[in-house]
Structure 1
Amino acid sequence: MDLHHPKPLGASARSLSAGSLRDRLSKLTPLNPVADALRVNVEFVPAKIPRKRRLQMLTVAIWSSILVISAFLFLYLCSYPALWPFLAVYHLWVVYVDKSPENGGRISRRFRSLRVWKYFAEYYPVSLVKECELPADRPYVFGYHPHGIIGMGAIATFATEACGFSQAFPGIVPHLLTLASNFTIPIYRDIILALGICSVSKKSCSNILKNGPGSGIIIVVGGAAESLSARPGTADLTLRKRLGFIKIAIQNGAALVPVFSFGENDIYQQMPNEPGTTVHKMQKKFQSIFGFTLPLFHGRGLLNYNLGLMPYRRRIVVVIGHPIPTVKCAQPKLEDVMEVQRRYIAELERIWHTYKDQFAKSRTRELRLIE
C-alpha cells in the first residue's frame, strides 16, 4: 500500500462524504441560537387591528413608561434657560412645601374618570367583583394581593374610575399607596397625586384615615419581596410577617378588607430567580439598600405579542371581600393583632377557594403563604 500517494476518491465516495458532512453539521448547535429562536418564536402584530385595541395598547404603553417619560421631559425643559426660574421654584415647592403625598394627595375625580383609563382597564381587561356593601360610616384599610410585578390591577381598580369603584362603593374615597420615592420624580408625582395615590408611610396612612368615615387606603401588602415570586399560574403571598397594616387599622378603628386580584401574576413572565441563586441574592441585597427591587421580567412589545416590556393581555379580576371590623386601640397588643390577622387570612383564603375555579383555571398550584 502506498501511504504517500492515496488513491483519489470516486464520485460516489465524494457524494457520500458530502452527505455525511451535511448530516453532522445539521446536528450541531446553531452559532446564534438566540437569533434563531427569535425568528421562530416572535409573533408579530397583524397590520389590521381595530382602532379601539390600538388605543388600549397605546394607553398601556404610555403608562408603562410614564415614569421615564416624565423624567426625560423634565430634563428637556431644563435645557431652556428661560425656564430655569420656574423649574427652580417648582423644585423648592416639591422638596420643602408640598406635603400632599402624606396628606391625602390632590385627588381629581375628573382626571380619574377620563376615558383614557377605560382604555387602560379594557386592555387586559380588568374587572371588579363586589361581594358585599361597604357602608361609608367608617374608614377602611384594603389589603391588595398579590403584588404582581407592577400591580396594574390595583391601578385600574383603585386609582381610576375605569372599573366603577365609586359607583360600587359610594362615599368611600380610595387612596392607593406607593413608595415615597415615587414622589421625588418631577411631573410623574403630580400625575399620581391627581389619581389619589399617596405615600405608604405610617404617617400618611394615619393622616388619611383620620379624615374619618369614608376614607380608605389601599396597601399592596406583599411589597417588593412578593414581586420576586410573581409568576403566571401562581399565588405565593408574603403576608404572615406583615402586621403593620393591621396595627394601623386597629389604631384608627378602620375595617380591614381583603382584596384578591386573580390574574395579576399572569401579565408578565419573570426570569428564574429561585431562593439561594445569585440573582435572587442580588435582588434581595438591592431591596435592602433601596427599599424596592427589580424583578427581571418580560412581556410583549408594541409590534409583537411575546417580546418586550408591556404586559400581556390577560384578564385580571379584582375581588373585594367582606370587611373585618376592628376595635380602635392606640396601642394594640400582639395577641389582638394576631387574632385580626388570623381572621384576615381566613377571609382571603375564602375568596381564593370561592373563585379559583372561575378566575384561576390555569393555575399551576394553590394559594401559598410563603412568608
Structure 2
Amino acid sequence: MMDFERIIQFIIFSSITSFCAFSPIIVPLAVTFLSWAWSSTIILSLSLIYCCWLFIDRHTDSEGGRWSDCLRQCYIWTRWVQYFPLTLIKTMDLDPNRNYIFGYHPHGIGSFGALGNFGTDATHFSILFPNIRPHLMLLRMQFFNPFTRDILLGSGACCVSRDSCEYLLSGKCGRGNALVIIIGGQREVILSRNDTMILYLKTRKGFIQLALKYGASIVPVISFGENELYKRHTFFGLIPNGVPWGQFILGLLPLRHPVTTVVGKPIHVVQIDDPTSNDINQLHNEYLQAVEQLFVENKDKYGLGHVKLEII
C-alpha cells in the first residue's frame, strides 16, 4: 500500500509541476494537435476567447489576485505536499487585524516549500492562522503562462511589483493579508550550497520600506530542507558552486526530502509615512537578527545541525 501511495504522489506531483513549468510549450502544442484532430474552428474560437479573457483580466495579479478556497483546499494538493513531505510550523498566533510581510528563506531551486505551504491549504495554513490570507508574491512573468496564471491567481498569488504590494498593504483588500516574499530571488539560487544556507539579504531593503510605510508586521520564515531537495555536482571541481540535480529526467524533479517551514515571531512595526534611511536600516538589522535566531533555534530540530548560515 505504501508503494502505491508513493506512486500516486509521484504522478500527481510530476504532472502538476511539469504542466506549470512547461505550459508555454504544452498549451500551443495541445491547441495545434486538437485543431488537427478535432475541429480547428472550435479550437481557434476558444483560443481567441481565452486571449480576450487574458486581456480583460490583465490587472488581477496586481489587484489582490483571485482567491479561491475550493482551489486551495483541493485534495490533489494534499498528495502534492506528501511527495516530500512538507510541514508547516507555527511559533506564534497572528492577529487578523494586521497585515504582514512574510520573508521566506531560502529560495532553493523551486521554492517548493513556499508553493505548498502558502499557495495551497494542504498543510493547514487556515487552521494554524485563522483569518489570515497568504499571498505568494511572484514575478510578473509567472502570470504570462496560459492556464498556469489562473491556477496561481486562484491560489491567492500576486505579482511582487511595488504597486501590487502596496495594493494589498494599503487596506483596499482589508486586513489579515500576508505577503509571502521570497527575498533572496534568483541571486540566492546561484549562491546556494548544501552545506551552507546562504541568504542574499543584506542589500534587500524594499520590503522593509513597505513595512514601515504601511505599518505591516514582518515575519521571518525559514524552510529547513529546501536547499536539500537538489544535490549539487561540481564535476571534479570544475564548477565552483555545482549544478543542481534532483532525480529522473535531467534531474529536474526534486528529491523526496522532508521540508519543514517554520513561521517565526512577527516584528510589529510602527507606521511611518516617510521612513528615513536610519529607520529602514534599524528595522532591517532587527530583521536580520530575527532570521539568524530562527535558524539557530530550529536547525537541530529538523536535521540541519551541520548546516551553517551565511547572510550576505
**Cα gap change, 1:279 to 1:100, in 2 (>3 Å):** farther
| Aligned counterparts of 1:159 and 1:260: Cα–Cα separation in 2 | 16
Work out which of the residue numbers 266, 269, 274 in structure 2 matches 1:331: 274
Q: 1:100 and 2:70 equivalent?
A: no
- How far the C-alpha of 1:99 sits from its partner, in A, is 1.2
Match of 1:136 in 2: 96
Work out which of the residue numbers 59, 66, 83 in structure 1 matches 2:19: 66
TM-score (structure 1 length as normaliser)? 0.76
Q: What are the Cα deviations for residues 31-66 of structure 1, in whole angstroms up to 9, with x where unaligned?
A: xxxxxxxxxxxxxxxxx9621111111122123312
**Which is higher, the Rg of structure 1 or of structure 2?**
1
Q: Is contact 1:60-1:310 (8 Å) kept?
A: no
Q: Is contact 2:81-2:116 (8 Å) kept?
A: yes
Match of 1:297 in 2: 244
Q: 1:366 and 2:308 equivalent?
A: yes
**Cα gap change, 1:358 to 1:206, in 2 (>3 Å):** same
Match of 1:166 in 2: 126
**Cα gap change, 1:327 to 1:174, in 2 (>3 Å):** same
Q: 1:319 and 2:279 equivalent?
A: no
Q: Residue type of the partner of 2:13?
A: V
Comparing 334-343 with 81-90, greater Cα deviation is found at: 81-90
TM-score (structure 2 length as normaliser)? 0.90
Question: Which structure 1 segments of 5+ residues have no match?
Answer: 1-47, 281-294
Q: Secondary structure at the match of 2:251?
A: coil
- How far the C-alpha of 1:362 sits from its partner, in A, is 5.8
| Aligned counterparts of 2:213 and 2:74: Cα–Cα separation in 1 | 35
Q: 1:257 and 2:209 equivalent?
A: no
- How far the C-alpha of 1:69 sits from its partner, in A, is 4.5
Q: Residue type of the partner of 1:118?
A: T
Q: Is contact 2:23-2:148 (8 Å) kept?
A: yes
Identity of aligned residues (%): 33
- How far the C-alpha of 1:327 sits from its partner, in A, is 1.6
Q: Secondary structure at the match of 1:50?
A: helix
| Aligned counterparts of 1:97 and 1:152: Cα–Cα separation in 2 | 27
Q: Is contact 2:104-2:114 (8 Å) kept?
A: yes
**Cα gap change, 1:121 to 1:68, in 2 (>3 Å):** closer
Question: Which structure 2 segments of 5+ residues have no match?
Answer: none
Comparing 82-91 with 67-76, greater Cα deviation is found at: 67-76
Q: Secondary structure at the match of 1:206?
A: helix
Match of 2:180 in 1: 218
Match of 1:24 in 2: none
**Cα gap change, 1:66 to 1:340, in 2 (>3 Å):** same
- How far the C-alpha of 1:198 sits from its partner, in A, is 1.1
Work out which of the residue numbers 71, 74, 77 in structure 2 matches 1:117: 77
Higher strand share: 2
**Cα gap change, 1:97 to 1:117, in 2 (>3 Å):** closer
Count of aligned pairs between the two proteins: 301
Match of 1:344 in 2: 287
Computed over aligned residues only, the root mean square deviation of the Cα atoms, in angstroms, reads 2.2
Q: What are the Cα deviations for residues 210-255 of structure 1, in whole angstroms up to 9, with x where unaligned?
A: 2232011100000000011223232000000000011111111110
| Aligned counterparts of 2:94 and 2:121: Cα–Cα separation in 1 | 17
